[in-house]
Structure 1
């Protein structure tokens, strides 16, 4: 069900390193642009409280997960705070087990077909191809040919220009960080309006790419 929501959303917006008081404003702006899945990274100040507040405030509207989760202990903390999925930059089998123990969606980071299959065989619901921009959309298509049963979510270097190519290559969704939610010292009305407009363009590109 949750993985289906991620696929329908098509875009996981990565919110990294913003101050706690700004995160909910950013999520609201992304929601207004049509994005429904948010990854709050574990290096966010006060991350567990931030996840808990966001999960409660946007319940029924947005799917809130945790990102840059490197170990099972961090996964457990994020899940206890209300994260619905765990996004990692690397493959840690114990993190997958912990995530599945709590009934959440596990999306570990992988790069090779061997890592993809290992993750999937140990319970991962999908895999995060990271960093995707090193090999590009052609690589996604190439690994999907022999491993079509494994849902892939390319992340790293995905932007407005290449989003469509990644979706057409067979990705169920993409993770987008700095190309969407750029870091800034001031989260003001102008920034939030720009964020909503950018989100809307990305959502439309994703829909068009799906045909």
Structure 2
């Protein structure tokens, strides 16, 4: 029997996953440092970014135990093997491939596959997901998440896809265990890695986001 890996501690503690997606990975280590300084310590590097695996390994080396660094857009077993070999501590996908989810669970690596319907959410959970990524979250908003949670309260959901900074707390209040935020948080900081002002602003946004979600996160932990 496959054992379900636990939720990534940094995600459980903060309720936020930062999604690092860019045309290339050159600026991502600096972005990761700025986010971690601001307290956002669960960092997803998407495999659609050129040089993603090298960046993931570098970020892990630089941040050490202060952050959890994972790989996103993990679609196949080959993606899984490459990501884990590069040091990914968790995996994320936009869809549900039960065989890939089970393979990750067998390795003890938390996987957050993407799902939209109750059938997909339940299938991801049965396969051994640590939590299920509701994607794209903005299509149905917090109301859709709340409706999914009603019949499936035991399955933790992470809202990802079009989540703006000022909406994050709404998703947590609707029952999300966490949110994933990309471009609204980064705002192009990855494209100006040598600009201290852009990185300082990113650190400030990270701190503000955590302050925004903290009350809803604390309120929701009791029933999750």
Common fold, TM-score beyond 0.5? yes
1:200 to 197, 203, 207: 207
Matching residue of 2:70:
65
Matching residue of 1:176:
181
Matching residue of 1:153:
158
Contact 1:71/1:95 (8 A) holds in 2: yes
Instruction: State the shift of 1:20 in Å.
Output: 3.2
State whether structure 2 residue 156 is matched by structure 1 residue 186.
Answer: no
Contact 2:8/2:68 (8 A) holds in 1: no
Change (3 A) 1:2 1:143: closer
Q: TM-score, normalised by structure 1?
A: 0.95
Matching residue of 1:92:
97
* Paired residue secondary structure (1:51): helix
Instruction: State the shift of 1:23 in Å.
Output: 1.2
Stretches of structure 1 that go unaligned for 5 or more consecutive residues are none
* Paired residue secondary structure (2:65): coil
Matching residue of 2:167:
162
Instruction: State the shift of 1:18 in Å.
Output: 5.2
2:125 to 120, 123, 148: 120
Contact 1:18/1:183 (8 A) holds in 2: no
CA RMSD of aligned residues (A): 1.4
Contact 2:10/2:67 (8 A) holds in 1: no
Q: For residues 19-34 of structure 1, what are the structure 2 equivalents within 5 Å?
A: 19-34=24-39
Deviation per CA, 1:72-129: give whole Å up to 9, x if none.
1101100111101111011111221221222100110000000000111111111000
Contact 2:99/2:127 (8 A) holds in 1: no
Matching residue of 1:41:
46
1:104 to 102, 105, 109: 109
* Paired residue secondary structure (1:179): helix
Stretches of structure 2 that go unaligned for 5 or more consecutive residues are 1-5, 220-224
Q: TM-score, normalised by structure 2?
A: 0.90
Contact 1:10/1:174 (8 A) holds in 2: yes
Contact 1:6/1:173 (8 A) holds in 2: yes
Contact 1:76/1:98 (8 A) holds in 2: no
Of residues 171-180 and 98-107 in structure 1, the stretch that sits farther from structure 2 once superposed is: 98-107
